[in-house]
Each structure stands twice: as C-alpha cells, then as structure tokens.
Amino acid sequence: MSITAYFLVFSFGLIAGMIILFISLKVHSGENIDIVELVRGMFSSLAGGFVRSAEEDVKEEEGGTEQLHEVDPREQNIYDSAQAIRNILLILTTNIQRTDKAASDSSLLLGDVKSTINMMALPPNLSEAQSLLMREVDRVISSNASLKGKLDKSQAVLTEQQRQIEDLRTAVRIDALTQLANRAYFDEKLNEMITLRKRYGDPFSLMMIDLDNFKDINDSFGHPAGDRILKGVALKIKASLRGSDFLARFGGDEYALILIKSDVKAATEVAWKLCEEVRASRFILDDAALSMTLSIGVAEASGDDTEETVLKRADAALYRAKAAGRNGVSVDQKPL
C-alpha cells in the first residue's frame, strides 16, 4: 500500500470519529439532521483520492515511468486528500457553531419563559403543574449548558485538526531539497495568477530558469554535491527577489519564477540581474570554488493566456537562451 493510501485510511478513521461525535451531539440537542446526505457529501472527495492512488500503484507495478517535470502523482494525491479533509473539518465546524447557537438561543428563551411563569399569579390547583414545568425548564437549560460544554471541547479538537491539516498542506507543497515551492504548488499559483490576470488585468511575468551544465557537476562531484549546488543557487536567487515574488523548483535543475505586477521589461531586468548574481558567486565543493551560470526564458502573461500557453512560451524562450550559448536571457515577444 502506498503512502497516499495509508494517509487516506488514517483520514477515514479521523473523519469517522468526528462524524460519530457530531451526530451524537446533534441527537443530544434534539436537532434533525440528514445523516445520509452529510456522510455522502463528506466522503465523496476522499473516495476520489483512493481511486487515484490505486491507479498510480497499478501504473507503477506495470513499469510506467513519469515524464520529466510532471507533478508527482502521490504528492498531488496527498495534497488533494488534505484539502478534502480540510473542507470536511470546515463543514463540521460550521455545524457545531450552528448547534451551539441553537442551544444558546433555546436557553435564553427558556429563561424568559421561566421568569414569566414565576411572575404569573397561578391558581393553587395549578401549582403542581407549575412546579413540574419549572423543573422541566431547569432540566433543559442544564442539558443545554452541558451540550455547550461538549461543543466547546469539540470545537477545540476541530481547531487543532485544522491546524494539523494546514501544516500538512504546507508540507506537501514544499520541495524537500531546496525548501522552495514544489511543482504542485507552482501549478496552483500559476492558475491563480492567470485567473487574476483575466479578472483584473494585473500584469505578471513568468521565468523559466535552468542551471547551466549541471550534469557536469553530478558527474564530477557526485549527486550529493549537486544537491548542495541546487540549494545554494536557490538561496542566491531567492535573496535577490521581492517578498511578493514566487520562486519554485520546477524539476531537476530548473526553477520557475512568477513576478507579480511585473511587465516583460521589468522581468527582463530582473532576469539579467539574477544571471549576474549567480555568475559572480562561488560555490565551494571539496575545496574547489565553482562558478555557475543561468539560462533564463521570460514571458509576460497576456489576456488570452492559459497556464499551458504562458508556460510553453517561457519554456521556448529558455531553450532559445540555451541554444544561444547559455549564461543569458531570452524574451518571448508575443504581442500582449
């Protein structure tokens, strides 16, 4: 069983426990609920995760290989599952808050009823009925107070679970080696930027960045040394950017950079600056000071771009930079 399947089994157990607790609280409060609809809605998202996980395991067993730079399916499955559980926890939180409000409103109403009854001058023959009614009102108010206590505890549990899910969502979007955003996170961010570009017209530019002759580093010094170079270059690039810029490890020795609110002219200036910064740096491996260079392709997103088209244009510009001798910048000239 893959790590995704283990994660989903754990998730089902967690959600099942929360659903049982939530239903018991609903029953205790006397509120009507559609259990079938609740459960069906919550688990439909997670079921898709199992299907995808099973499909990827079958592909692996059949010897299927992943194409270069594609998102790791297992990583994507874990992220999708975390998102589904997060949505379920939000649903439970909303319903707990609704139930808590109903209990509070009920107690306030019953308190008013109790005060009204106490002020009424009822005939002696109704005193026994009055006492019985007052005891029942007190019992319901006490029951509501107990329910609110349980709801508070449940809310605390859900808050902690939401924090853990948010931590997990963040963890699966970070590249373990460079600590940059990973490919899945980059795809999510690029989709968001395309949407904002179409809605508000805010410009942004995309850079595809390749570390020149990186294979020679691995061949000469070994892959652990190559990993150190990848981390060092990532730190150097990140230190040269604004806080709003979005840098990701695209795959292998390639990085992707989204420059928010930057047209192609501003992005080109940044690209040349990055080339100069990395070229002027020295990376120490086995007492050898190595110089590295970058090839960068730049494209500004247009109004009719999709994620695929802007990525294709930036990638084509990158290959032109490499074909021109590396250690330089090539700009896509598509009219905007």
Length of the chain: 336
Q: Mind listing the pLDDT tens digit of every residue in the chain (336 residues)?
A: 444 444 444 454 555 555 555 555 554 555 554 544 554 555 454 455 444 444 444 444 444 433 444 555 656 666 666 666 666 666 666 766 677 677 677 677 767 766 776 666 656 666 666 677 677 777 777 777 777 777 777 777 777 766 776 666 666 789 989 999 999 899 999 999 999 999 999 899 999 999 999 999 999 999 999 999 999 999 999 999 999 999 999 999 999 999 999 999 999 999 999 999 999 999 988 888 899 999 999 999 998 999 999 999 999 999 999 999 999 999 998 655
> What is the per-residue burial (b if ≥16 Cβ within 10 Å, else e) of 142-163?
ebbeebbebbeebeebbeebbe
Q: What pLDDT is recorded for position 88?
A: 67
For 4, 7, 74, the CA distances from 1, given in Å and listed in that order, are 8, 10, 12
Rounded distance, CA 202 to CA 272, Å?
Answer: 23
How does DSSP assign 168-219, residue by residue?
HHHHTTB-TTT-SB-HHHHHHHHHHHHHHHHHH---EEEEEEEETTHHHHHH
Q: Which fold has domain 183-331?
A: Alpha-Beta Plaits (3.30.70)
> What is the per-residue burial (b if ≥16 Cβ within 10 Å, else e) of 31-49?
eeeeeeebeeebbeebeeb
Q: What pLDDT is recorded for position 2?
A: 46
Query: What are the residue boundaries of the structural domains of the chain, listed by start?
Result: 3-171, 183-331
Query: Which residues are CB-contacts of 102 (< 8 A; sequence separation ≥ 6)?
Result: 29, 31
CB 117 within 8 A of CB 43: no
Q: What is the pTM of this model?
A: 0.57
